Amino acid sequence: MSAFQSFRISASGLTAERLRMDVISNNLANANTTRTEDGEPYRRQFPVFAPLEESAAPGRNSQHSFGVKAAGSGPVGSGVRVVGIEEDTGPPRLKYDPEHPDANAEGYVEMPNVHVVKEMVDLIGAARAYEANITAINSAKSMAQKALEIGR
């Protein structure tokens, strides 16, 4: 594995984790949104990751065929990509609030299926994964610099 390939792999992880943090932030911002444009409560979203195919990695002589593959089916060590952002199909939470404008006849409001504590735990995990990719890039950079010093 070349140093540049390790940079590409870590960069793909940085991009994926940044998007994951953006999606989590969006979920947290909409944790109390009871009515979206379609009239339903907000639904939690999450990104779907898949391995980046070795032949489709930037810098390769490829046609950039980023076709969807099942998770875990790509070659080891080629990076990651986001194949989409999906909505959680779980049921909305019901909250008793008869004064709320979106309350039903029984006084219950359908709240988003966003659990703030779970989102915060996911956000911490995404931040740690982002930091791990930065550490990997810095280590690869340091090794490349040391390799260049050998020839002096």
Continuous H helices in the chain:
3-29, 116-150
Inter-residue contact 143 to 3 (CB < 8 Å): yes
Find tokens 């994951």 and name the residue.
Answer: 20
Residue 55: its pLDDT value, please? 54
Instruction: Using alpha carbons, select from 112, 108, 111 the residue that is nearest to residue 87.
Output: 112
Residue 87: its pLDDT value, please? 95
Find tokens 């991009």 and name the residue.
Answer: 15
Task: Work out the pLDDT band at 125, boundaries 50, 70, 90.
Answer: very high
Residue 65: its pLDDT value, please? 33
Residue 75: its pLDDT value, please? 53
Task: Work out the pLDDT band at 148, boundaries 50, 70, 90.
Answer: confident
Q: 152 is written with which tokens?
A: 């002096």
**Total residues found in the chain within this entry:** 152
Instruction: Using alpha carbons, select from 150, 46, 41 the residue that is nearest to residue 97.
Output: 41
Q: 110 is written with which tokens?
A: 């359908």
Q: What is the pLDDT of residues 6-49, one digit of tens each?
A: 899 999 999 999 999 999 999 999 999 999 999 999 999 999 99
Inter-residue contact 96 to 107 (CB < 8 Å): yes
This model's pTM is above 0.75 = yes
- Separation CA 78–CA 71 (nearest Å): 13
Q: What is the pLDDT of residues 54-110, one digit of tens each?
A: 655 454 433 333 333 345 554 566 899 999 999 999 999 999 999 999 999 999 999
Residue 134: its pLDDT value, please? 96
Instruction: Using alpha carbons, select from 48, 19, 17 the residue that is nearest to residue 129.
Output: 17
Give the distance between the most distant pair of CA atoms in the chain: 80
